[in-house]
Amino acid sequence: MNQQDQKNSKNFAWPLFLASIAFSIGGLIAALVIESKEIRHQICLNNMPVHAIAYYTQALAQATAVVFGIISLIYALTHRLKKIGSFFMFFMNMTIIFIAITFQLNFFRFAASSCQSEAKQNLAAIWTAYTSYYSDYNTFPAAPYIIKDGKTYNCFNIADWEPMRKDTRYSYKCMGTVVYSPAKGGVDCEEAITGATQNDFTVAACANIDRDSTIDEWTIDTAKKLKNIVDDVKR
């Protein structure tokens, strides 16, 4: 190979390398924009198709970046360019792709963990409502639905608590019954034990906040012990 051919080979290998980096970084940015929009709207992962788009946008972009990187390396080696430089360029390429994937996965976990704040805040509010109810009636709501003055109340709104948002991610459970649940994506708290007597209570919140089958489950009791029985973010 003469010097002019080798120069042309380098010029072709570098665009492949740059294209690989562009796909990797571009896919990362696109996925972050989609995911951030959902977080700003505080919908969390209720809108699973949108988050699937973010996830697969990232996956397709990184897969394309890897393919371009491999083609760039093969082209450089088959055209007798310096092996050290070719492999170093490929190593840089794969390192950038690895960093992009790692950052995105951590961002997905952050998005999921941000949803857990809903359960913690609402369970704390339920504890306050139940405590206030106890001070008035010397008992806690001991049935999922209660008839009072000819009206039917659930165990939460009789204590003057209801979810502030209609698009909640979590289902809320008392006395073994899910009383509030999102319009889509609602689940039952399978492992959480809930109940109430005159002197104590345990209520629960649960949701599937990512793409796996694990259910995120929280409980709070009379002593205000907030427990994450099943952590969907770590599993």
The full DSSP string for the chain is --HHHHHHHHHHHHHHHHHHHHHHHHHHHHHHHHHHHHHHTT-TTS-HHHHHHHHHHHHHHHHHHHHHHHHHHHHHHHTT--HHHHHHHHHHHHHHHHHHHHHHHHHHHHHHHHHHHHHHHHHHHHHHHHHHHHHHHSS---SSEEEETTEEEETTGGGT---S-TT-SSEEEETTEEEE--SSS----SS---EE-SS-EEEEEEE--SSSSPPEEEEEETT--EEEEE-TTT-
Query: Do 106 and 187 fall within a single domain?
Result: no
Instruction: State percent of the chain over pLDDT 90.
Output: 34
Distance set, CA 139 to CA 122, 130, 155, 175, 198 (Å): 21, 9, 12, 14, 4
Query: Do 41 and 106 fall within a single domain?
Result: yes
Query: Do 84 and 130 fall within a single domain?
Result: no
Query: Do 46 and 108 fall within a single domain?
Result: yes
Domain stops at, among 114, 130, 160: 114
Check if the beta carbon of residue 85 is closer than 8 Å to that of residue 72.
no
Which range marks the domain in which residue 167 is found? 115-230
* Four-residue CA torsion sign, 191, 178, 130, 201: negative
Q: For residue 107, is it within any domain? A: yes
Judge whether residue 229 has pLDDT over 80: yes
Query: Do 144 and 70 fall within a single domain?
Result: no
Q: Place 1 in a pLDDT band, splitting at 50, 70 and 90.
A: very low
Query: Do 107 and 19 fall within a single domain?
Result: yes
Predicted confidence at residue 58, as pLDDT, reads 80
Q: Cα–Cα distance between 213 and 50 in angstroms, integer?
A: 18
* pTM, rounded to two decimals: 0.65
Please state, rounded to an integer, the average pLDDT across all residues of the chain. 82
Query: Do 78 and 171 fall within a single domain?
Result: no
Instruction: State percent of the chain over pLDDT 70.
Output: 83
Check if the beta carbon of residue 173 is closer than 8 Å to that of residue 189.
yes
Judge whether residue 4 has pLDDT over 70: no
Domain stops at, among 89, 114, 139: 114
Report the DSSP pairing between strands 201-207 and 216-221: antiparallel
Count of the separate structural domains present in the chain: 2
Q: For residue 26, is it within any domain? A: yes
Query: Do 141 and 158 fall within a single domain?
Result: yes
Judge whether residue 159 has pLDDT over 90: yes
Query: Do 104 and 145 fall within a single domain?
Result: no
pLDDT tens across 109-125, in order?
A: 776 677 788 899 999 99
Query: Do 60 and 109 fall within a single domain?
Result: yes
Query: Do 8 and 103 fall within a single domain?
Result: yes
Q: Place 42 in a pLDDT band, splitting at 50, 70 and 90.
A: very low
Domain stops at, among 56, 81, 114: 114
Predicted confidence at residue 233, as pLDDT, reads 75
Q: For residue 235, is it within any domain? A: no
Q: Place 203 in a pLDDT band, splitting at 50, 70 and 90.
A: very high
pLDDT tens across 70-91, in order?
A: 888 887 777 766 676 778 878 8
Check if the beta carbon of residue 114 is closer than 8 Å to that of residue 45.
no
Predicted confidence at residue 220, as pLDDT, reads 97
Listed range (21-25, 87-91, 217-221) with the worst mean pLDDT = 87-91
Q: Cα–Cα distance between 50 and 66 in angstroms, integer?
A: 25
Amino acid identity for residue 89 in this structure: M
Query: Do 35 and 73 fall within a single domain?
Result: yes
